[in-house]
Structure 1
């Protein structure tokens, strides 16, 4: 295991993970007109498994599947599947930059859901940051940044944006469940059970949406799984190398990747509404991170 508090290693791993996740999203968007998003989800989970098993084999750690909290993994995999489904569907109708910007709503919903789930008290500072984040969502929507280059009807775009925001809700639930599981389970165990169970969940729905992919599409779908698996491992390594609070700012670099790839590959030039709204959401997320870090420091002094 890497040493904790190695910020340089953690930052490099986080930067690599965000870049790969954005490349994965671009590949998903590239096949979305021909392949149902649920079929893409199956390939994403199924072909991430070889990466996980290679990691286990290299470390000769075959006890990763041992767990006393199987129901917790099932619930976590379910919320993860719902979050991934919302994300993949949003990619079918929204430009890459808009979809990426709306995924940043997760910290806002984590703050809100920590009240009923964890019994936390949220003060005026964090509530203000949450409000600022939702203003950012409205700026993206009202600025019509999501309409540029998509060629989609207004109602479809509206549904896509709503689903993208719901992805933040499901991701927030997943985050809180992972916090609970990580008290007794290793990160590798959580990730491995996530991939196995999400593959099983999507396999159940696969016969209803299956379209035999062409050879080129099949290659892309396999790469979606492999790239996603490597990115997930890098993300896990990042959090094993440094504290989450130190890595938070680096995770927002995905907006830069998504703007660049969306512009070059899909000719989706982000509007000023998208840029301004994404900026507000990022600022709100970073401020929430700052407040959590400050609260943690105060608890250590008590």
Structure 2
């Protein structure tokens, strides 16, 4: 069993996961000129499976696939597929740092959707944080150079920005579904079914978008899946090692990774508006996390 509240182990796992996810995103962006993002999604899910099965084999526990909540896994995988589709499309048209920054809108939508989904009451503090986050989105969307998009038409870039924000909505729904599933299912079981079902969903659409990759592209697509699988395991281990409150700040290091990789690999110099918007979105996310923890502590003391 992983050690609980081991902040050093948890931080290292989180830093590794965020670094790998950003590298995966950079590879996706690199191959997206010739390979449709739907095809990339298939490889992302299909070649994460060997990693997941290796974990199950190492533990000698194939019962991880057993579940009494298949319908819940199907719905969760569908919302995850929609979130991934929006994210991968946004990667094809937006600079890496911009797409990464906008992907951190998930906590904002979790707060909003917790009202109809969970019947929660959202106070002035969390609403203020949500408004701060949306201000960050506007700063990125309306800032200088926001619609340059590496020479792409402004309309396509605008759709890419919208997709990056909508990805936050789908990810928020997925987060709420995972909260429900985790009451009876282990994190490994959830990840296994996620990879299996998302592979099946994208396989159905694959014939309509298939382009035969070159040998080099095929190797990169396989690498996307393997890196994604390892990163997912590291993320799971991070949350098994330490409290979410301690790991929250480390999860935002992907913005630093995306700025660095975007600059070095794609020559994308982040604009002031992207950086300022990212600061606002991160600040809102961290404050929402702070308020969640404060509310949890109050409930324990009642």
TM-score bin, normalised by smaller chain: over 0.9
Q: Deviations over 1:26-81 (max 9, x none)?
A: 00000000000000000000000000000011111110110000000000000000
1:149 CA drift (Å):
5.9
Q: Deviations over 1:240-271 (max 9, x none)?
A: 11111221111000000000000000000000
- Check the 8 A contact 2:149/2:157 in 1, yes or no: no
CA distance in 2, matches of 1:142, 1:77: 33
Aligned length: 302
Match runs of 1:263-278 below 5 Å:
263-278=263-278
Which residue number in structure 1 is paired with residue 164 of structure 2? Answer: 164
CA distance in 2, matches of 1:246, 1:296: 15
CA distance in 2, matches of 1:113, 1:288: 14
CA distance in 1, matches of 2:174, 2:13: 21
Aligned-partner SS, 1:64? helix
Matched, 1:200 2:200: yes
Which residue number in structure 1 is paired with residue 247 of structure 2? Answer: 247
TM-score of the two chains, using structure 1 as the length reference? 0.99
Which residue number in structure 2 is paired with residue 106 of structure 1? Answer: 106
- Check the 8 A contact 1:98/1:145 in 2, yes or no: no
CA distance in 2, matches of 1:234, 1:61: 19
Match runs of 1:115-130 below 5 Å:
115-130=115-130
- Check the 8 A contact 2:147/2:158 in 1, yes or no: no
Match runs of 1:41-190 below 5 Å:
41-148=41-148, 150-190=150-190
TM-score of the two chains, using structure 2 as the length reference? 0.99
CA distance in 2, matches of 1:145, 1:290: 33
Which residue number in structure 2 is paired with residue 218 of structure 1? Answer: 218
CA distance in 1, matches of 2:249, 2:263: 23
Segments of structure 2 that go 5 or more residues without pairing to the other structure are none
1:148 CA drift (Å):
4.9
CA distance in 1, matches of 2:177, 2:14: 21
Structure 1 residues 209 and 149, CA gap change in structure 2 (3 angstroms)? closer
Aligned-partner SS, 1:63? helix
1:144 CA drift (Å):
3.5
Q: Deviations over 1:174-230 (max 9, x none)?
A: 000000000000000000000000000000000000000000000000000000000
Aligned-partner SS, 2:122? coil
Aligned-partner SS, 2:213? coil
- The RMSD of aligned alpha carbons is 0.8
- Check the 8 A contact 1:148/1:268 in 2, yes or no: no
Q: State the 4+ residue runs in structure 1 displaced beyond 3 angstroms.
A: 144-149
Further displaced range: 239-248 or 223-232: 239-248
Further displaced range: 73-82 or 244-253: 244-253
Structure 1 residues 242 and 265, CA gap change in structure 2 (3 angstroms)? same
CA distance in 2, matches of 1:238, 1:43: 25
